[in-house]
Amino acid sequence: MSTPDPTFPNQSGPVTLQQLREALAFLTEQYDQLVDGTQNVFVWLWETIQGDFNQDRSAGQIALDTAISMIPGVDQVCDVRDIVANCRQINEDKTNTWAWVALGLTLIGLFPTLGSLLKGVFKIFFLFVRRAGGNHVIKAVDDAMTWVITLLRKRQVQKYWKGLKWDWVFHELAKQARIIRRQLNVGQLLKAFDRGITLMNSLLGKVTKFPLVGRSARDTIVMVNSIRKMANEYLAKALKPIEDVMDQVIRRLEIEDLVQRRGVVNVGNIHFRGNLPEARAVTLMRNTYPPPKWLSQGSPTRNLPLTAKKERAIIDRKVKQGYPPLTDKNIESFSKGLISAEIRGPARLYRVVSPSNGAMGDCWISESVWKTIMASPDPKAVWRKHLAVWPDWNGNGQFVVKDIPAGETIKVWRGPTSAQMKSGLPDRYLEGGWEQIILSPKSGQWDSTRYYKMRGGKDSRPIQLQNPINRDQYNKLSNTQQAEYTGIREKINDPRITGPLDTGWGSTDFDAQLNDAKLGLPSLPGQTTNAKH
């Protein structure tokens, strides 16, 4: 059987009779027909087009089908079969928007610039989405990812993308998917529909000349063309959910890219050194020489904090309009340039955390700021310096990603971070100046956190975490008592947050911290990545 080229545009030429016979043998699993010439290939084709829409195959079979369906003959027969099946479903109820969405997803597979590898990946995602229906798109896309990975691991498929020198296959797939997403409109879908009809006429044209099956084939061609005549109106209504599916597919590919690049946090090797108490942090910042790159000397002259009292009236008016409430400390964490804003999905926010910090919190950064941080020579240093994060506030080492889906809008505060000074450290400061975003988590989205008492750590004995208490109990303790505990993120409760993922920065800021005992984390869902494979 011929071999596909995953980089080739989606413009396969006519297949030979032998290619068509091979394709039909695979799709129907009637391999004896390859040598048995008694079966007329065009009647066989019609029987295959009439066949199952492939909705009931196992997930493993889907990945196998997709790998082989990149071969031109199989690919073309699948395209025609799927278009016919979509149109039959629409013909039963022309007002069924989800049936039009399913057709639109099939038509994306006929975009001329779509490479065969991405088309194969789309086939898996779209099949899961069609099965699940419009109310379960996110789950369907997540469930499909396991089988996308299965496809990409197949030897013949690996050969393709490795030959392209794709070090990060999910990054490249997401990039190509975004290009297709930008092309997505009713006009392009209609052009793809016309290409599909041309392909159908080419494949079924000779079938119409055969007795018995010919009339059914002609009726099918008429039916598909009748659906095409009304497609302009109905595809326009289906465009938004089609775009939403594409956005979710791109989001999932990008999340998988993050997981592959940054490594999955694994309970077998999670260690951190607990919270760095403020007094210890001040001592280390004062005595470390040379000082860390992120710590500026002297006093700040720019990015000065706002005055909460002066801003309070404006803030409170905006809060009544649905913007997040801000404490005085929140206000003073901004410098001049604070604005109320709306973030419209699809969008992605990032948050640096440690095992002690909540994945859900009010302080986030945009994707553009995150990319700037990660592109710098020393990401941790620019994060601390320009977002003004003291080491006793956040130990870092991990990050999480929050997705705002298409069609959703959230109200936030955004603006440049103010410079930060700390009592006990009069001649040192954090510069600030890069944009931060404050949002208001909804009820039930806050992480579950427990506070563990630390025992041991003396005479070379390892520290043990014991007797966890909840936040309310912890808040009732004195400062001295609280110093005996360390918070541990127990569970991430917001389903739109992915993580934690490893920053690759480590979890210390000073060489002196390396002498502290490492704490082994308990096996908790909040400490292992929730990205699905």
Distance of CA 320 to the CA centre of its chain: 33
Nearest of 497, 393, 490 to residue 447 by alpha carbon: 490
Q: What average pLDDT does this structure show over 204-216?
A: 73
Query: Could you tell me the pTM of the whole model?
Result: 0.69
Q: What average pLDDT does this structure show over 93-111?
A: 92
Residue 351's pLDDT band (cuts 50, 70, 90): very high
Q: Is the dihedral of CA 60, 65, 70, 71 positive or negative?
A: positive
How many H-runs (helices) and E-runs (strands) does the chain carry?
18, 15
Say what percent of the chain tops pLDDT 70: 79
**What's the CA gap between 394 and 232, in Å, rounded?**
53
**What's the CA gap between 252 and 531, in Å, rounded?**
9
Q: Is the dihedral of CA 23, 29, 35, 37 positive or negative?
A: negative
The string of pLDDT tens digits covering residues 374-416 is: 889 899 999 999 999 999 898 888 899 998 887 889 999 999 9
Nearest of 158, 123, 129, 157 to residue 143 by alpha carbon: 129
- pLDDT for 90: 95
Where would I find the beta strands (DSSP E) of 206-346?
Answer: 271-272, 296-297, 339-344
Range in 53-67, 203-217, 319-333, 338-352 the model is least confident about: 53-67
Residue 34's pLDDT band (cuts 50, 70, 90): very low
State in Å, rounded, how far the first CA of the chain is from the last one: 31
Distance of CA 71 to the CA centre of its chain: 29
Q: How many CB atoms lie within 10 A of CB 341?
A: 13
51 pLDDT higher than 80? no
**What's the CA gap between 313 and 103, in Å, rounded?**
53
292 pLDDT higher than 70? yes
Buried/exposed 401-434: b ≥16 CB within 10 Å, e otherwise: bbbbebeeebbbbbbbbbbbeeeeeeebbbbbbb
**What's the CA gap between 507 and 354, in Å, rounded?**
8
Beta bridge partners of 515: none
Nearest of 248, 292, 313 to residue 385 by alpha carbon: 292
Q: How many CB atoms lie within 10 A of CB 59?
A: 14
Nearest of 411, 394, 405, 404 to residue 358 by alpha carbon: 394
Beta bridge partners of 498: 401
Contact of 140 with 129, CB cutoff 8 Å:
yes
- pLDDT for 78: 77
What the block records as the tokens of 108 is 């994306």
Nearest of 218, 215, 226, 236 to residue 91 by alpha carbon: 226
Residue 475's pLDDT band (cuts 50, 70, 90): confident
16 pLDDT higher than 70? no
- pLDDT for 31: 45
Q: Please state whether the peptide bond connecting residue 391 to the residue before it is cis, i.e. omega within 30 degrees of 0.
A: no
- Give 189's contacts (C-beta < 8 A, 6+ positions apart): 104, 107, 108, 231, 235, 239, 242
The string of pLDDT tens digits covering residues 490-525 is: 889 998 898 888 888 877 887 767 666 677 777 777
Nearest of 532, 451, 441, 452 to residue 493 by alpha carbon: 441
> What letter does residue 134 receive in the DSSP assignment?
G
**What's the CA gap between 214 and 211, in Å, rounded?**
5
Give whole-number Cα distances, 174 to 184, 492, 527, in Å.
Answer: 15, 26, 27
- pLDDT for 101: 94
- pLDDT for 64: 53
